[in-house]
Each structure stands twice: as structure tokens, then as C-alpha cells.
């Protein structure tokens, strides 16, 4: 089960990276969708960083405990960002909201597996 959760996490990060890059390339997401200073360059960097993270996770360089902690912290940071920042479009808030929810579910599943 641990290996499967690591693979799911890697695939999630990779899929999210591809979605971000495709949305930027097609103009579906841009600087108008996120609070300042997030713009096209930041979105491209995030997309590539997510693809890199996917590879690192898949290769086994990041363990389950680290993934659980990282996903939990990222989910909390995402909620704080959504609540504290102004300038969200519906699309930008939806992307971050869905990402936060997925990260929270992954973190909970990973933490439960570590306790088992």
C-alpha cells in the first residue's frame, strides 16, 4: 500500500504539472487568475517544478513520511493563501481549491498508512 500511495502522489504531481503547463499554453490560466505576483512565468515554473517533483517521487527519492508532511503543509498553505489573498478568478480559485483538497486527502491517506 505504501508504494501505491507514493505512485499515486507522483502521478498527481505530474498530472497537475501537465495541466498547469497546458492551461498556460492555451491561455486558460494567466496572471489574471491568481493574486499578484503570480503570472505566466511563475505558472510555467510551477508546472515544471511539479513535473520534476513527479520524477523525484517516482524514482523513490522522497519517502512516504516526507510526502505526508509536505502534502499536509502544502494543503494548509493553500487554504491560507485562498483565504488571505485577493485577486482570484473563479478558475484560479478552483484550481487551487481542488489541489488543496487532493493534497489533504493524499496527506491523510499517507499518514494513516504510516501509523498502520
Look at the pTM and tell me if it is higher than 0.85: yes
Task: Provide the CB-side half-sphere exposure for 71 (13 A, CA).
Answer: 28
Whole-angstrom distance, CA of residue 33 vs CA of residue 38 = 9
> Quick check: 116 pLDDT over 90?
no
Model confidence pLDDT, tens digit, residues 74-108:
999 999 999 999 999 999 999 999 999 999 999 99
How much is the mean pLDDT over the chain? Answer: 97
Amino acid at each position: 500500500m505504501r508504494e501505491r500511495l507514493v505512485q499515486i502522489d507522483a502521478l498527481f504531481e505530474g498530472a497537475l504539472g501537465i495541466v498547469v503547463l497546458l492551461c498556460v499554453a492555451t491561455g486558460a490560466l494567466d496572471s489574471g487568475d491568481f493574486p499578484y505576483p503570480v503570472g505566466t512565468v511563475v505558472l510555467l515554473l510551477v508546472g515544471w517544478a511539479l513535473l520534476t517533483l513527479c520524477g523525484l517521487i517516482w524514482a523513490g527519492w522522497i519517502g512516504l513520511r516526507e510526502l505526508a508532511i509536505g502534502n499536509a503543509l502544502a494543503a494548509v498553505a493553500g487554504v491560507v493563501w485562498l483565504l488571505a489573498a485577493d485577486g482570484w478568478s473563479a478558475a484560479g480559485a478552483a484550481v487551487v481549491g481542488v489541489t488543496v483538497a487532493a493534497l489533504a486527502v493524499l496527506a491523510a491517506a499517507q499518514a494513516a498508512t504510516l501509523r498502520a
